[in-house]
């Protein structure tokens, strides 16, 4: 069985690639790490064993190019890292299985629930999970809601095109300028991201709440792990309710001033802030790699440390002339 790993849309996800590299070395894992992106200058490429250029996920040749790359490079497990890929990969999982590649991704139903915030809201309500009221932006009931409100694309990601709406004029403007939008109650309180680990059999094995102290482009730039039993229990229940959840599931919620926990987002993939949970001891890469090697990982859901803080900053990859490669190549730093 091929043991190489492929991270698609690797972009700036250097911390995640490094974590998998570290755990592969510690386990004596025989595989290589391959990254793929639409850009040859994606920083994560330069921390992998090989890197590949792929067309955008919405391009006609994307799926064939990705399948061909998996065959050529002996990819055993494929781990997608951005939302637009998830629907395509979930729908075509069998094509990858036919060439010996496992797509490490939750079921098509969980991916569907995450792809539209109206479906996410309906799922939360159906399972008794507290969540802000959510309306389609065209719903006339919105005009009777008290301001301020929060408007965002139903299929958006990375906090793009999200707006706090404080006046009727702003509401009318953003309704007309943000396509496929939903409107929610504006919630005040502490915002948390949760990294939930679901084993290959779908069982929830670990949950780490991360307080979002500061964010940039939708990702946590400053955060702290918080061992709060109420937060952990609430997230655990959400993850258990998801059909066929596998791997790292990222959830977001607010802890209001009154102590209510309101869930707002679902992303069935590694979030950009996961390296904080990894640094605190929630070793999801190792647990996945051990499963790939046919071993039963020793998972301790309490092993991660409380109060670990992450302060992210920009670093740089410096390349000499000729090192900036636009095709597959061995670019792992020495």
CA angle 234, 239, 242 (to 5 degrees): 130
State residue 216's pLDDT score. Answer: 83
CATH of the domain at 167: 3.30.1490.20
Confidence of residue 328 (pLDDT cuts 50, 70, 90): very low
Query: Once rounded to an integer, what is the mean pLDDT over residues 75-88?
Result: 96
Q: What is the pLDDT of residue 158?
A: 65
Element housing 208 (H / E): strand 204-216
Whether 177 maps to a domain, the answer reads: yes
> Over the stretch 103-123, which tens digit does the pLDDT of each residue have?
999 999 999 999 999 999 999
- In angstroms, the Cα distances linking 60 to 56, 95, 97, 98, 225 are 9, 16, 21, 21, 41
> What is the distance between the alpha carbons of residues 293 and 302, in angstroms, rounded to a whole number?
24
What span, in angstroms and rounded, lies between the C-alpha atoms of 14 and 11? 8
User: Given this model, what pLDDT does residue 324 score?
Assistant: 59
Residues 204 and 222 in one domain: yes
Could you tell me what percent of the chain has a pLDDT over 70? 95
The answer to the question of residue 240 being in a domain is yes
Cα(63)–Cα(110) distance, rounded to whole angstroms?
Answer: 21
pLDDT in tens, 202-232: 999 999 999 999 988 777 889 999 999 999 9
Q: Token digits for 147?
A: 């301001």
Give the strand pairing for 163-165 and 261-267: unpaired
Q: Are residues 68 and 150 in the same domain?
A: no
Average pLDDT over residues 152-171: 87
Q: How confident is the model at residue 8 (pLDDT cuts 50, 70, 90)?
A: very high
Residue 146 tokens read as 């008290």
pLDDT category, 334, cuts 50, 70, 90? Answer: very low
50 within 8 A of 32, measured Cβ to Cβ: yes
- Does residue 121 fall inside a structural domain? no
319 within a domain of the structure (yes/no): no
- Stretch 63-68: mean pLDDT: 97
Which distant-in-sequence residues (6+ apart) come within 8 Å of 54 by Cβ?
8, 36, 37, 38, 62, 65, 66, 69
Residue at 118 is within a domain: no
Give the chain's mean pLDDT. Answer: 93
* Co-location of 234 and 179 in the same domain: no
Is pLDDT of 89 > 70? yes
pLDDT value of position 323: 65
Q: What is the pTM of this model?
A: 0.92
- R_g of the chain, CA atoms, integer Å: 20
Q: Which domain holds residue 274?
A: 188-311
Q: What is the mean pLDDT of residues 233-253?
A: 98
Q: Is the pLDDT of residue 329 over 50?
A: no
Q: Say if residue 73's pLDDT is above 90.
A: yes
For the chain, the domain total comes to: 3
**Structural domain includes residue 193:** yes
326 pLDDT band, cuts 50/70/90, is very low
Residue 245 resides in a domain: yes
Q: Is the dihedral of CA 236, 237, 240, 242 positive or negative?
A: negative
pLDDT band for position 322 (cuts 50, 70, 90): low
Q: What is the largest CA-CA distance in the chain?
A: 61
């Amino acid at each position: 069985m091929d043991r190489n790993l492929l991270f698609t849309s690797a972009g700036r996800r250097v911390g995640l690639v490094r974590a998998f590299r570290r755990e592969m070395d510690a386990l004596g894992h025989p595989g290589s790490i391959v990254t793929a992106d639409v850009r040859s200058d994606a920083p994560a490429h330069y921390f992998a064993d090989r890197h590949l250029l792929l067309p955008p996920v919405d391009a006609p040749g994307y799926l064939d190019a990705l399948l061909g790359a998996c065959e050529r490079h002996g990819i055993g497990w494929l781990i997608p890292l951005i939302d637009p890929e998830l629907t395509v990969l979930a729908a075509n999982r069998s094509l990858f299985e036919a060439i010996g590649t496992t797509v490490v991704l939750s079921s098509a139903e969980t991916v569907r629930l995450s792809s539209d915030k109206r479906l996410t809201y309906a799922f939360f309500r159906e399972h008794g999970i507290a969540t802000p009221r959510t309306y389609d932006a065209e719903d006339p009931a919105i005009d009777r809601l008290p301001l301020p409100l929060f408007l965002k694309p139903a299929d958006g990601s990375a906090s793009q095109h999200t707006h706090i709406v404080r006046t009727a004029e702003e509401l009318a403007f953003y309704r007309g300028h943000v396509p496929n939008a939903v409107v929610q109650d504006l919630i005040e309180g502490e915002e948390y991201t949760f990294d939930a680990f679901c084993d290959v059999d779908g069982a929830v094995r670990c949950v780490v709440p991360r307080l979002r102290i500061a964010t940039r482009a939708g990702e946590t730039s400053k955060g702290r792990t918080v061992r709060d039993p109420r937060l952990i229990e609430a997230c655990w229940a959400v993850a258990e309710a998801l059909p066929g959840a596998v791997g790292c599931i990222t959830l977001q919620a607010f802890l209001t001033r009154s102590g209510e926990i309101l869930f707002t987002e679902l992303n069935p993939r590694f979030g950009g802030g996961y390296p904080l949970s990894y640094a605190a001891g929630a070793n999801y890469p190792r647990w996945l790699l051990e499963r790939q090697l046919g071993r039963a990982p020793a998972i301790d859901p309490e092993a991660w440390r409380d109060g670990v803080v992450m302060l992210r900053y920009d670093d740089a990859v410096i390349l000499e002339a000729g090192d900036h490669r636009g095709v597959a190549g061995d670019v792992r730093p020495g």
